[in-house]
Chain A
Amino acid sequence: DTGVSQDPRHKITKRGQNVTFRCDPISEHNRLYWYRQTLGQGPEFLTYFQNEAQLEKSRLLSDRFSAERPKGSFSTLEIQRTEQGDSAMYLCASSLGAGGVYGYTFGSGTRLTVV
């Protein structure tokens, strides 16, 4: 499978717990992006990496959120002390370069429910 993989597909957690999501991009893609999507909204940008460097973070990415891409391959997104407002679909995407011609390829997402 050469697509973008995300794990887990679904996560239910209690408020206040920490959660971590994983994304495996397309192997030859050097850019990796995290987005969040809530019902009725388009995906909202959180952060992106070029290789292992985190180049941009949205103001949506509060101190409770941290993302890493330690070896320039897979990435993790951790949310500490989850809140009900964190419930959303977390989407990972990858691209070769800026994605200016071919856009991004998205994974199937991780659906987080905070209870």
Chain B
Amino acid sequence: RKEVEQDPGPFNVPEGATVAFNCTYSNSASQSFFWYRQDCRKEPKLLMSVYSSGNEDGRFTAQLNRASQYISLLIRDSKLSDSATYLCVVNKDQAGTALIFGKGTTLSVSS
């Protein structure tokens, strides 16, 4: 089983749609969770951290289910500018080995 697995995508949605990405991780000792965004041929950039209680940042909502080792990202009212690859990221433990990245799910929002 891969350490971090994501929906393969791509997701093609119209502007204004709601889209959800799912991610599972294999190491139950993982402590830190993130979603990164990566535009074509650019570096990954932190979109949001994911907290146990779930958290929201504008149109973006992240959820964590530790029992199921599952992370999700919900994007509401999609914009053209949301088109990118979304990377699910997990830290092995708080003591800090490196972040492990999923393969990414590509979102394309069309008008």
User: CB within 8 A of A102: which of B46, B87, B96?
Assistant: B46
- The size of the chain A interface, using a CB distance under 8 A, is 25
Q: Does B79 contact A (CB under 8 A)?
A: no
The bracket for how many chain B residues form the interface is 20 to 34
Number of A-B contacts (CB under 8 A): 63
State the A residues within 8 Å of B (CB). Answer: 31, 33, 35, 40-45, 48, 56, 91, 97-109
Interface 0/1 of B40-65, CB less than 8 Å to A: 00111110010000000000000000
- Once bound together, how far apart are the Cα atoms of A101 and B46, in whole Å? 11
Residues of B within 8 A of A48 (CB): 97-98
The 10 A-B residue pairs with the shortest CB-CB distance, nearest first, are: A98-B96, A42-B101, A106-B43, A100-B32, A45-B98, A103-B46, A43-B101, A42-B103, A103-B34, A42-B104
